[in-house]
Amino acid sequence: MTELLRLKSTASREELAAALTPIIDDVIAQRSQQNREAMSSAISSLIPRAIQQQIQNSPEEIAKAIAPEIGSAIEEQIRLERNAISKALAPEMGKAIKAQIDLERESMIDALYPVIGSTISKYMGEAIRTINQQVENALSPKGVQRKIRAKMLGVSEAELILQEAMPFTVQAVFLIQAASGLVIAEVQSSSEHRLESDLMAGMLTAIRSFANDCFARSGSVSELDQIDYGDSRIIIEFVGYCYLAAAVKGDPPKAFINSLREQLGLITLRYGNAIEEFDGDLSKVPPAIHNRLEALSEEFQPNRPTKRPIALLAIVFAILGIALIPWGIWQYHQHVNRQISAKISLALLSSPELSVYRVVPEVRRDSVTLRGRVPTEYLRSKAEAVTQLEAPNRELINRIIAVNVPPDPELVAAEVQRLATLLNQQGNMAIAAEYENEQVNVQGILFNDTNPQLMVQAFEQIPGVRKVVTMFNLEQDVVNSRFYFELGSTEPNPNDLNQKLIPLRNLLQKHPAIHLRIIGHSDTIGTPADRRKIATQRAEAIQKLLQAQGIAANRLQTSGTLELPPGISPTAPLHLSRCVRFEVILKPNTQ
């Protein structure tokens, strides 16, 4: 059979095809009815290649064959899945517009030029006439007001004239979904010359796609932000899945751009879900979105009442400003002088020798004058030195009068006690001082090789002190001695009693102004309560021994502590911690 078909096909290929075609058609029809899925799977891989081959062989015929069905197919696809058809067509629309511009650029320009040219000519004529009127009225009240406004705003008068000739107006504001190009909400200022919102949204969608294809680089993120057409423009603010498009005339002020961004941010923040899920049903749009767009449009309308500065009032303010400049400079210098005066006064009060006297600084522009009275020439020089430190760049005029006024004995005695307290706080001495008949008697103990002459000079600087008599005890080893104890005992070692108790008694009897603080210590054995108890008992034991030697109890203070004695480390032998030590307290001798 195979050989017969081969011979027959060689003899007459056309006759064989005519004979087999009905049979093949019947076979395909029967197979399709029996198992449609298997038949579809068998021929599906052949259909694309066949269509591609047919397009290459006869493109006009296949175009005529499928053209009537394309419109119906697109309409059905839009009804079933609008977003999918938008994503599919958007890239091709941009390419088509770009291709049309490349093919017929000149014809497009020729078609639009008559309309655009006449419109621009008419508008420029009106703008030039308006500018001429503004220039002619430059010396009128309105012109003077414009000059003042230009100075206040930091712009040229010509720029303000241009703004008046071409005022800024908002024609319409549209909120558009970025993915689908659907208009979510719109506000238009004029009911007679309304812009077609759907046409506007479609145009912007196509232009955005075109701009992204032409200018956006790979990996970069950018968006179309403005489209200019003569004095009109469309300002676009884009965020995520929607954008605001404002059709305006004139140069938009910065406040409008900021307001546009602010409103878009608030809308997307509060109503983001409603915008993202918008499917063309305007009834689902929150009314607050429309209210915000309306407020944005009305805020920048030219007929909106605004507070304009009055020319005469502005001139008055300018004159007052010029007159107040010298006063402001004078006030500034006065403020600086007051600050310097307060700084000098504080320094004079901080000086111990000058704090009890009234010295007043008077600060002028380039000088400082000191006025007041002090009892000695030394204090007069001291005040001058303090002032020079605080105001080194100003001339100093010292008009302080040094008057030898008999000092008040009570004030002098108080100053002596104050100075003695300050010296004791330095830690290198323990002294007591008494003032009587212009003489200071100082007694106590000096530590660490302290120079007594410096202390004497400090007392001699006090007004009313003629003489300083010192009685220092240099046997600080007696005070620094320590009494040691056995473990758990409150009785001192017998050797310490013989070597240390008697010298300590002699020191206290020789200097009645010396009081002692007796501090007991213990080792680290036992509970804190037991350790503190035995430390206190040891201090009290030494106190009783001194009382038995004739020392008054009110001169002896006792305390117990858990701290290690000064100079003893935690790793030192424990017997060094079981001791009693002394601190000197000096009080004036009232005996």
Walking along the chain (591 residues) 10 residues at a time, the average pLDDT comes out as 52 63 71 70 70 74 71 72 68 59 59 51 54 54 68 63 68 84 83 74 80 64 73 82 84 83 84 83 85 80 53 71 82 87 88 83 88 84 89 88 79 88 76 86 74 83 85 70 90 85 85 85 92 94 92 92 90 91 70 42
Residues 241 and 340 both lie in one domain: no
The answer to whether residue 210 is domain-embedded is yes
Residue 231: inside a domain, yes or no?
Answer: yes
Q: In this structure, are 357 and 380 located in the same domain?
A: yes
| DSSP state, residue 407 | P
CATH of the domain at 223: 3.30.450.30
Residue 156 in any domain: the answer is no
Q: How many residues does the chain have?
A: 591
Cα–Cα distance between 475 and 556 in angstroms, integer? 19
Cα distances (angstroms) measured from residue 438 to each of 220, 409, 419, 423, 464 = 92, 8, 16, 20, 6
122, part of any domain: no
Could you tell me if 440 and 517 lie in one domain? no
For the entire predicted model, the pTM comes to: 0.30
What's residue 590's pLDDT? 45
Buried b (16+ CB within 10 A) or exposed e, 207-233: bbbbbbeeeeeeeeeeebeebeeebeb
Final residue of a domain: which of 402, 421, 452? Answer: 402
Cβ within 8 Å of residue 341, ≥6 positions away: 361, 362, 363
Range of the domain at 547: 476-586
User: Which among 361, 379, 402 is the end of a domain?
Assistant: 402
Q: Residue 253: its pLDDT value, please?
A: 80
What CATH number does the domain containing 486 carry? 3.30.1330.60
DSSP annotation of 485 reads: B
Q: Which of 567, 549, 480 is nearest to 516 (CA)?
A: 480
Same domain, 447 and 376: no
Same domain as 550, residue 490: yes
**Is 107 within a domain?**
no
Are 467 and 431 in the same domain? yes
- Judge whether 211 lies within some domain: yes
Per-residue pLDDT, 307: 47
CATH number at residue 380: 3.30.1340
| Cross-strand partners of 434 | 441
Q: Do both 377 and 333 map to the same domain?
A: yes
The last residue of one of the domains, among 473, 489, 523, is 473
Indicate whether 271 belongs to any domain.
yes
Distance (Å, whole) CA 53 – CA 443: 126
Same domain, 416 and 398: no
User: Do both 423 and 521 map to the same domain?
Assistant: no
pLDDT computed for residue 336 by the predictor: 87
6 in any annotated domain:
yes
> What total number of domains does the chain contain?
5
Q: What's the CATH code of the domain at 431? A: 3.30.1340.30
Please tell me whether residues 188 and 266 are part of one structural domain: yes
- My answer on whether 171 and 275 are in the same domain is yes
> How high is the pLDDT of residue 296?
81
Q: What angle do CA 588, 590, 591 make, to 5 degrees?
A: 130
